[in-house]
Structure 1
Amino acid sequence: MVEPDVPPGRPGRLKVFLGAAPGVGKTYRMLDEARRRAERGTDVVVAYAECHQRRHTLDKLDGLEILSRTRRTYRGGVFEEMDLDAVLERAPQVALVDEFAHSNVPGGRNAKRWQDIEELLAAGIDVVTAVNVQHLESLKDVVEKITKVPQQETVPDDVVRRAHQIELVDMPAEALRRRMAHGDIYAPEKVDAALANYFRVGNLTALRELALRWVADQVDEALQKYRFEHGIGGVWETRERVVVALTGGPEGETIIRRAARIADRSVGGDLLAVHIARSDGLAAGASAAALARQRALVESLGGSYHSVVGDEVPTALIEFARAENATQLVLGTSSRSRLERFLTGRGIGETAVAMSEDIDVHMVTHERAGGGRLLPSRRRTLSTARLIAGPVAGLVLPVALTFLLDQMRGSLNVTSEALLFLLAVVGVACVGGVVSAVVASVTASLLLNYWFFPPVGAFTTNLNSVLATAVFAVVAGTVAAVVDRSLRLSRRSARAAAEAETLSSLAGSIVRGDRAIPALLERTRETFGMDSAELTEEPVSDGGSVVQVPVGERAHLVLRGRSLPSSERKVLTAFAAHVTVAVERARLAEVAAEVEPVKAADRMRTALLAAVSHDLRTPLAAGWAAIASLRSRDVDFSDEDRDELLATADESMARLGRLIDNLLDMSRLQAGALKLQLRATALEEVLPMALDSLPSEAPATDIQCLDTVPAVLADPPLLERVVANLLSNAARHTPPGHAVLLTASALDDRVEVRIIDRGPGLPVEDRERAFVPFQRLGDTDNTTGVGLGLALARGLTEAMSGTLTPEDTPGGGLTMVLSLPAASLRN
């Protein structure tokens, strides 16, 4: 079957093969995919494929069109790169481009290969590529902690997420190690080192889990997007998601642990805790301190905490659970007493069960269950059941009381009977509100007049009876109105407290700076139960349920989903104010970031002036003094004295030259003007010159294992400067009678050089300061230079794609670890 041509204007589609580690077979799968497409008639070319001389992978190239590469000369070396212009001119339907995170050799349009791929996609060319999980920007530091190997090349996660398809290339750790042992990944001389370091079972297992989780998260995002676009509200049980409802009460920790055990029953289960911050049910009696403790507990168990404002607590819970595609909802059993349940009707848990449909609801018992708690009512004050029950009680309760008092006639006087009727009216007001109280007061007044005011059994019209009946009705109605108003104010106060609690929590996160703007928008979306929340520069004109409020002077907060009542719009305005603060903080951070280099440069100039004013004068003065003495005709120097003065002048000028060279190199590094000529460089090539630069009184250097490591990719003069500065630093701190030790070893595709001294060492907290220019930690004699040696060594090392890190020397001292890429794997 021949695939149709790419429609004009349609961007190309990206497919990514993601692997957990080198050697799992990404390039093999990519080439296999190309062969299948070519067999179906698709126009496929191999724009760039890195086979690493693996025979099975090379076999897959047979029969595929391979485009020629462009060759670039850089720092003395010749490198091959994908010819982007050739691919665009060829304009295939599908292009295979390996090593998604690769950094291009300077000379092309783009610094990164993923930027080349974006150009191909924009031209309508479909691209198939491959990348390892360690090259994802968000996982770079995690992988470095696991493998102890820094990652120099990364690709932004967002670029990979935009792929039309992401396919995981998976392989068990033991299977990958067997491939390594059979020589299917690296050359035989590198197998043992690789298996003992990067390719350890623990490392590979951890990398594999990272890859599986990252892909699972992308699949989950795609599923949520699909459900939203197709209006699917039902739960799809792709994996267990357990939502636990928190009240801020003392039962919270019990419920959280129960929910965590439910989530742990399935691999990959998620735990989400939600607190409904509003004026009924779950918000009643909420303790901010208890919620903070419960949030910490949830996060310690690997869950996430959410706060939502909702009108109806059961509805808010179910809507949140459905939005998160939750499979189970965990609530505590009701803390209300039997009397409260009788008066207020069905509770939150029972209502949630009735509304849950395909979500399983767990009611967890706790020590507070049934203990009783007065619950403020909902925004409209009364439930439907109470709105119906109130007027009915206003009619039935006075009649029942009349029947009871009639049976007790003679035991009470009219005053006591009237007070009992007044109590009944107040009770009806508490149940059904002021309207029900009016019905009850009118009914009670008529019954009092007919059955209890003389003449009994007839409505009396004398002035006293009519006045008493009227006063009773007014008093009963007034008391009922006051009671109803008090209840309303109490509920409004609780509502305001709940909203203030939510806003306080949000404000705290902004002040602490632990919420980026995207996370803040997500918090706003979930709090108001909306489908999406975003910042736009201009107001939107879309129809439907769109809510938008201004954020600062140039942005608008736009929420899509449901219509918000006026009370929630007020809260949203407060949320928008917090978003404004976050946006302003981000803007100020950008301004501060722009100012910081200027401040750093100013500090550098100040330190440089201080250094020049003293440290450069010292060797200059010594040299001048020696030369002036030699030129003096007043003293007749002996040959021995003359040689000593010449040696002093020579040493002073050499020291002055080294200081000036360091200053110039540091200034070129800071300005980005240092030119590198990278080539394969043997350590034996630069070591003699580095040793020659050491002072004659420096301790001896013990050199070991240089002949067992490959050449490194470096600039020889700069590498010699780095090694010389490190040796000089080690010699300065090595006590008499000890030698400086220099060793080297190969690790994966890098070479590590260790320069070891037996000095006092450096505390951990001071180690990074040692690499700051013009720092001389531990030197108090002002004779050791301007403090640029280690700063320059690290700067030059990083310019050559290396790292320089300090470690403790076993038995005392400091070890400088210089790590550089091996030239044999980079050429």
Structure 2
Amino acid sequence: MAQMDKHSDRRPDPDALLALTDNESRGKLRVFLGAAPGVGKTFAMLSKARALKNDGVDVVIGLVETHGRDETEALTEGLEILPRRKIEYRGRTIEEFDIDAALARRPKLIVVDELAHTNAPDSRHPKRWQDVEELLGAGIDVWTALNIQHLESLADVVSRITGVLVRETVPDLVFQEASDVILVDITPDELLQRLKEGKVYVPETAKRATQNFFTPGNLTALRELALRRTADRVDDQMVDYLRQNAIEGPWATSERLLVCVGGVASAELLVRAAARLATGLNAPWIALHVEPRGQEEINPERAKLVDDALALAERLGGEAERRSGYDLAGEVLQFARQENITQIVVGRSRAGFINRILRWSLNEEIVRRSNDIAVYVVTESPAPQVVAQRPWPRLSRAKLAIGMSASALSVGVTVGAAHFLDSWLRLPNLSMIFLIPVIFCAVRFGIYPATAASILSFLAFDFFFVDPRYEFTISQPHEFFSLIVFLAVAFVTAMLASRLRKQTLAMGARMQAAQSMFDFSRKLSGAAKLDDVLWAAAVHAQKALQAKCIVLLRPNDGELNIYAAWPPVDLLDAGEAGAARWTLEKSEPAGWRTGTLPNVRFQFRPMVTPRGVVGVCGIEPKIANEPLSPQDEGMLTSILEQTAIAIDRSLLVSDSVKAAALEENEKLRTMLLASLSHDLRTPLASITGAVTSLLQLGEKIPPPDRRDLLVSIEEEAARLSRFVANLLDMSRIESGALAPRRELVDIAEIARSAVERCKKAFPKQAITISIARDLPLIRGDANLLGQVLFNLLDNAHKYGDDSNAIIHARRDGADIVVSVTDEGPGIKPADLERIFEKFYRGGRPDGRKAGTGLGLSICRGLIEAMGGTILAQSPAIRRRGTRIVLRFPIPEQAAGGVAK
């Protein structure tokens, strides 16, 4: 019967049931989650959508971004696609998801890609996830895709990992309320291979991406975040199910361990035992230290044992947590239930007989009260040596003397005040007045003076105000009882006020330390140069720790040198230099109070980043005989970690700049050598062969063949001349020595002159001229503009497969537009901008390359120098060909003048 009553009290969580009821009326959201772009989220989403469509489900595509991927575009065929809403913004037409059309169509399922997208201005919602929320509220199921870096809680983590600022985010609540989360996952190697094959970005963009965001380390970290977040989502769903069905926790969906750490010598042994147990169970684990509240001022040696144990737990793969409370066992069990802990690891109890009777043994209390959590007691460790902890804080003799004097003086003042009140007001009970000196001494001087004040108040009240007065005698029993109650109240008040004082002081110290670290972080974030970072670290460490601080680096594997020191330090002696080198090479502390060269004045700590030790920081404490306090240790660790990250960031920026410059120089050098070796060797070989034939055979060669050889020599010499002229023009453009004339010129006359020149150079090339009537004059350099048109016709000859070339000129508003079009195979869309780069000889779909790669680059330089613009379009005619478009503004003084 008792068992039935016990189970009858279990009721489903009302909030969980309410959320379940609300979800019944809403549409269902399915999120396809990926670690990075290109893993195949949209492909997987469309594949499943097509399968549902084939099963007869009403599926509509609201918006899908295929990014030019043919496989993804093929999946959209056969699915209804809603038209996009067009918005004019800053002279551009932006196409956005039309939520009104989706609500009017009201399908069973709608696919809306890129959940983190920011909508154009004047949209109903600023974010696309808000559009999705409206669709869900209308009862429409939605499928969408999301990358892990766009989750709001992880955006800063991803920014620190990748160095890329995440601007578009989605609230975690949207992700948590999704009905289904499907993880689309591939390995970093597969994703990098897709990137190389051009399945994610165009080749040039893909190359830049592999150097920045798409690195193996970044992809591995993002993949781990995605896997962990998906696992957390599954845990959340399990918890919701258990709450909805009134199943009490802890919910052992997986093992989770908690080890209790105290200030004992065996704490590290206990942590290692917990780590071995967690490894065997393949379970996550947490090391927890609970400090008795009101006893924050603890023994430094005990605090060091706790810090070492928690640091060891983190090194072994666990988490470290600190809590404080009055009920230590209750605090441990509450934390365990909050973290869904299934096993608690504790050490063997060493409490004495009295403590066991009074239930002051923490371990036995945990075992007694943990009805639903298993407790694992480690008994194999040796007997722990408990560091003595005084129940009362230590006080110096001077402070103690001042406090005792203050207690006596405050009690004396209270006696005088009580006499005054008693003579004038005749109060029935003056005992409460004597609590004032107790509270005053507790708040101002601590527990010792407060205790003395309570005893003195007890004696003074008995001597001066209890009959018979001026004797330590009590005549009435009720007065004796009142005095005992007064003494107890005074003691309790003293303890509570003293504890409040300690907590206030500790909180103030923590706030000051937090503010100091915040200021330091802000300085580091604003420091762009390496020297600024190092000096900020040295000055802040000296100010926070009241100790000399030096920072040493070894640039380019050279000597370890001092880069910053405050107060200034010029040189280190041999022992200090040796300790610093040891720290750098071994990545462990050396020097003062360590196992390596402990007699030197500095203690050197490594500054470690994922790529290794980037520097060494040396600290000379103000008091050489005392170790750093736990607070100073924590402060120093934080300073070193942040400084190491800032140093690594500065070095990476410097290295990336140098690497980019070297790569660009090497690329240009390779292109130049390849171009020179090919384009000089070919005409020279033709000229040499023709001249050799003429010299050796002479009159034996028939006149027609001799003429052909001479024409070949002339053509190849002209080709060499054009090549050398292009090199000279490019050098003039890059050096800034080009100064084109700005005269009014006739574009029709220049075009005809360029065509006549091309007919001599390429007699087989067919060229058509189409010049509009009454074209205004433009401002430019006739010679340079003629060179541009010749280069464009030369380019059409090389890449147009001897097809017809067309020169067309017309007026377009306030501009003159001149275009040169060929009917060749055209240019790949990804190369429409790259063809204007120096030495770039690509772009044809058939992969054929010709020329030096300088012609179009020279054309851009000359056109821009004359104030015009140039761009490429492909396809141009009947899905073939290339059109190079030149655009020149019409000057005001020439607006009325026209070409003849």
TM-score (norm 1): 0.42
Higher RCO, 1 vs 2 (CA within 8 Å, ≥6 residues apart): 1
TM-score (norm 2): 0.39
